[in-house]
Amino acid sequence: MAENQQKLIHTFGALAELGSEVSQKQNFQEMMRTSLHLLLGSLAIMRGGIARYSRYGHELNMLVMRGLGDDFPLSLSLCYEDERQFLVNDLYPIEVAQAKVLPFFQIYDQSFEKKRIELLVPLVIRDEIVGVILLGEKANGEAYSGYDKEIICAMARHIGVGIAQRNMMAELERRSDENRKLYDDLRMTYKDTVKAFAAAIDYKDKYTEGHSVRVGKYSEIIAQELGLEESEVEGVAVAGYLHDVGKLTVERNIINAPYRINAKESAELNKHPAVGYEILLPIHHPYTDVPLAAKYHHERLDGRGYPDGLYDKEIPYIAKIVNLADSFDAMTTDRPYKRRRPANEVIEDLQRNAGKQFAPELVTAFCRGMLKEVTGESKDKRFRRLLGREYMEAEGIVPILKNALNGMNATSSLTFVSPD
């Protein structure tokens, strides 16, 4: 075989392999190691290394080295804009003799001389320096020819692209990480705001202290029992926290009336869902339907609720959840004119009203969650914390819950149908 032809096959084989190496998504360090082997082996260069340029530290950090020994500097500082420009301007391998003008080169001159570094190859991608390749002497002892430099240039371009790709990936990862953190911060801020609102609502209503917070928590339990996704569960909880936000505009003496309010007062109070909707609508919530939950949390499946008297399927799902949570809390806490009712009675009430006021599948989910806690199947203490241990340990609560669940399964297909 003619020597030139064999040389061509050898070097172009390396070039082709380098191209495919860089285009494969794989371990970056291995890619760089393979690349350096291919470059050194294609022209039989005794030693060399690939350094990556860090824009933050203005330094060249060695990624891989061969034959440079343990005392070769792992990081070379490029402190001056001039020398960075010098490297960017020159796409061609730079002879070490030329590079002596560079300040950084003078610092590392001794190391370079000791390891007989002959060429510096700037890796420039789109006018930006991404790294440098250092090359020592050739095995045959000859100087680098123009042909050698062309080969080196072509290979260096591939390696530069590999580093640039890696940099881009790292940058993308960093940004998405930052975005995620930013999003988390925003969500935290939002949640805090929601809780502050809930506290403000509850503060106004001295007889139902903590009502909004509890409704938020019961709503959350129902959503969890329904197996909704985490973000949906959060949305439902928020809807629970904010459902009565419209009460902020209702006069305090109506809310706190220690008697059954009259028709006029009742009309005033019944505005709170619509007012809540108006308050929540302009806010950009990370979850959908929060304003609708406030608007329709007093609607009933049988159309006898307010403000719009909607029937079953017309009522947004989230409003049905909040309605159940809201009613449950109303029955299980003392009111100005009414003591809280015993657990057994409340459960029976839920069962009786499934399909009338409440969506049966929601009552099922709620009772199931409660049963799991009462029987110890779930280690959660959500109900116990909200209602007190004694209340939850009422006699006969387990059979009543089981009965309610069985009864519900039998009647769940009989959901209310709108008369029109």
**What is the binding site for another protein (CB under 8 A)?**
1, 3, 6-7, 10-11, 13-14, 17, 30, 33-34, 36-47, 66-67, 138-142
- Choose from Fe ion, another protein, none: what does 142 bind? Cβ within 5-8 Å by kind: another protein
Stretch in the footprint of Fe ion (CB under 5 A) among 144-152, 241-249, 366-374, 412-420: 241-249
Least distance from C-beta 167 to another protein, angstroms? Answer: 23
Instruction: Find the binding residues for Fe ion in span 40-69 (CB under 5 A).
Output: none
Q: Which of the 8 DSSP states describes residue 377?
A: S
Q: Give the nearer residue to another protein in terms of CB position, either 3 or 230.
A: 3
- Choose from Fe ion, another protein, none: what does 30 bind? Cβ within 5-8 Å by kind: another protein
Least distance from C-beta 123 to another protein, angstroms? Answer: 19
Token pair recorded at residue 390: 């004694």
Report the alpha-carbon distance of residue 244 to residue 276 in Å, rounded: 7
- Choose from Fe ion, another protein, none: what does 138 bind? Cβ within 5-8 Å by kind: another protein
Report the alpha-carbon distance of residue 4 to residue 147 in Å, rounded: 12
Instruction: Please tell me whether residue 244 binds Fe ion under the rule CB under 5 A.
Output: yes
Q: Cβ contacts of residue 243 below 8 Å, gap of 6+? A: 212, 215, 276, 293, 294, 297, 322, 326
Least distance from C-beta 323 to Fe ion, angstroms? Answer: 9
Token pair recorded at residue 379: 């280690």
Binding footprint of Fe ion, residue count (CB under 5 A) = 1
Cα 395 → chain centroid:
45
CB 324 within 8 A of CB 366: yes
102-116 burial, b if ≥16 CB within 10 A, otherwise e?
Answer: bebbeebeebbeebe
Least distance from C-beta 24 to another protein, angstroms? Answer: 13
Least distance from C-beta 45 to another protein, angstroms? Answer: 8
Q: Which of the 8 DSSP states describes residue 122?
A: E
User: Residue 379 corresponds to which amino acid?
Assistant: K
Instruction: Please tell me whether residue 83 binds Fe ion under the rule CB under 5 A.
Output: no
- Choose from another protein, Fe ion, none: what does 67 bind? Cβ within 5-8 Å by kind: another protein
- Choose from Fe ion, another protein, none: what does 50 bind? Cβ within 5-8 Å by kind: none
- Choose from another protein, Fe ion, none: what does 43 bind? Cβ within 5-8 Å by kind: another protein
Least distance from C-beta 86 to another protein, angstroms? Answer: 29
Q: Give the nearer residue to another protein in terms of CB position, either 30 or 334.
A: 30
CB 297 within 8 A of CB 315: no
Q: Give the nearer residue to another protein in terms of CB position, either 47 or 158.
A: 47
Which residues lie across from 314 on neighbouring strands?
none
Least distance from C-beta 138 to another protein, angstroms? Answer: 6
Report the alpha-carbon distance of residue 213 to residue 210 in Å, rounded: 5
- Choose from another protein, Fe ion, none: what does 195 bind? Cβ within 5-8 Å by kind: none
Report the alpha-carbon distance of residue 129 to residue 139 in Å, rounded: 29
Report the alpha-carbon distance of residue 415 to residue 94 in Å, rounded: 82
Q: Give the nearer residue to Fe ion in terms of CB position, either 158 or 247.
A: 247
Least distance from C-beta 170 to another protein, angstroms? Answer: 23
Q: Give the nearer residue to Fe ion in terms of CB position, either 235 or 240.
A: 240
Least distance from C-beta 324 to Fe ion, angstroms? Answer: 13
Q: Give the nearer residue to Fe ion in terms of CB position, either 157 or 272.
A: 272
Q: Give the nearer residue to another protein in terms of CB position, either 6 or 375.
A: 6
- Choose from Fe ion, another protein, none: what does 244 bind? Cβ within 5-8 Å by kind: Fe ion
Instruction: Please tell me whether residue 329 binds Fe ion under the rule CB under 5 A.
Output: no
User: Residue 42 corresponds to which amino acid?
Assistant: S
Token pair recorded at residue 19: 């191209």
Q: What is the largest CA-CA distance in the chain?
A: 109
- Choose from another protein, Fe ion, none: what does 140 bind? Cβ within 5-8 Å by kind: another protein
Compute the residue count for the chain: 420
Helix (H) or strand (E) holding 48: strand 48-54
* 383 CB-side CA count, 13 A: 24
Catalogue the E-assigned strands of 92-178: 94-95, 119-125, 128-135
Q: Give the nearer residue to Fe ion in terms of CB position, either 159 or 255.
A: 255
Which residues lie across from 123 on neighbouring strands?
131
Strand order in 59-66's β-sheet? Answer: 75-77, 59-66, 48-54, 128-135, 119-125, 94-95
Least distance from C-beta 241 to another protein, angstroms? Answer: 58
Q: Give the nearer residue to Fe ion in terms of CB position, either 244 or 289.
A: 244
- Choose from Fe ion, another protein, none: what does 374 bind? Cβ within 5-8 Å by kind: none
DSSP 188-219: HHHHHHHHHHHHHHHHH-GGGTTHHHHHHHHH
Footprint of Fe ion (CB under 5 A): 244
